[in-house]
A and B are shown apart, each in its own frame.
Chain A
Amino acid sequence: MRPRLFEETVLPHLDAAFNYARWLTRNDTDAEDVVQDACVRAIRYFSSLRDDDARAWLFTIVRNAWYSRVSRKANVAEGTRLNDGQDEWPDNALDPEERLLQQHTIALVRAALEQLPVDFREVIVLREIEGLSYKEIAEVAGVPVGTVMSRLARARERLQTILKLNAPRETLR
């Protein structure tokens, strides 16, 4: 196996890294800083990369870079808190279902995702948009697979509520 280059091993995943960071931070400037930090680390620790998992490896580093910025700022304020709170999402009703299917879809989905606690938002992005397996998400987020599963289920329940996808009556509970 010939030696690998950072440019061809890690850099192809820069868009994915940025997308992930952008959803973690919810703004462009912070996402850029996080990915920049992460890449400095990735370059430094490049030799520790096993051969088969550059993308998940980069996600893990992005998450660590983001986490150390958040805790350094001690800005565990609104929206960036790490615990998921108790079902306290804003009650501002979004539009009815048919409007979802029209031109506001993207804006509404984005708004819905952005009001999720970051732990929930992260599992949704990694699973639905990046297509990671439960095991890979668990490694990136540093939590057991069981936690990934329960976060995913709860995140989806919340999104369904925010986006008003739930049936009028809950018949199964």
Chain B
Amino acid sequence: MSCELVERDLDAYLDRELDAAASTAVREHVRTCAACRRQFAQRETLSRLVRAAPYYSAPDRLRARVLAQSSQSHSVRRVLTWAAAAVLVLSVGAGMTLWRPASRRGDVIAAEVVNSHVRSLMANHLFDVQSTDLHTVKPWFLGKLDFSPPVVDLATSGFPLVGGRLDYVGGRPVAALVYQRQKHTINVFVSPAGGDPSTDNVVSTVRGFNLLHWIHNGMSFWAVSDLNSAELGEFATALQAS
């Protein structure tokens, strides 16, 4: 591969938008070409700098105004929505385990996982134990759960552990581990897999949040974030490799 081609693909490579073959070609070239390597280093420095740019959060008064507008224009629809939701929850609760196919149950869990994620961000209840030290986070779960969740720090892979809390998903208490990637929060919900065999990643998107689900060593993992799916996949790979 020539320098011109690498230069053309530089951004797509760093943005993880190249397919595997093209990525490999770029990587191979860069290993042996000092000029391209310098270009790479500049781009990476730039990327790091840009991510230090200010993040402007919405002012509270704007949030309040939008909420008021929404509830105003939706008051009628909202009653209907809640009624429909209540009926659905009742019917799911009654029948799910008997006759719903497994994937449907997965959908329900996925929705719960996203709800928990959103709640943890909105209610500002991200942590019961806030620490980047896994030796603080892991023991904290002792005596609070009937299993011991695997807790690892992934700071070296760019996903520092920032804390954990108890949460409730799929009708049972689970460990929620909180990781950070720049401004993005990743919640990982861990619970015993209940005898289900190990699985590869299952990817899904719910309401703009990306989800990954896998089963490993008898534990079920759900990772959820507004991080893009490529970086969330990178996170899952790092977690599985640890």
A interface vs B, CB < 8 Å?
Answer: 1-9, 11-19, 22-23, 28, 31-32, 35-36, 39-40, 43-44, 51-58, 100, 105-106, 109-110, 113, 124, 127-129, 131-134, 149, 152-153, 156, 159-160, 163, 165-167, 171-172
Contact = CB atoms under 8 A, between A and B. Distances in A.
A162 to B, nearest CB: 10
Interface residues of B, number: 64
Q: Is the contact region of chain B dominated by helix, strand, or loop, or is it mixed? A: helix
B74 A43 contact: yes
Interface string B133-164: 00000000000000000000000000000000
Contacts of A172: 3, 7, 35-36, 39
Given A1-B107, A129-B51, A133-B230, 15 more contacts: A5-B78, A8-B207, A9-B208, A18-B56, A19-B56, A22-B56, A36-B65, A100-B49, A129-B50, A129-B55, A134-B15, A152-B15, A163-B46, A165-B46, A165-B49
A11 B70 contact: yes
A148 B121 CA distance: 31
Interface in B221-240: 226-231
Nearest to A4: B207
B69 interface: yes
A171 B35 contact: yes
B208 A56 contact: yes
A35 to B, nearest CB: 6
Interface stretch (B81-89, B124-132, B172-180, B188-196): B81-89
A39 B66 contact: yes
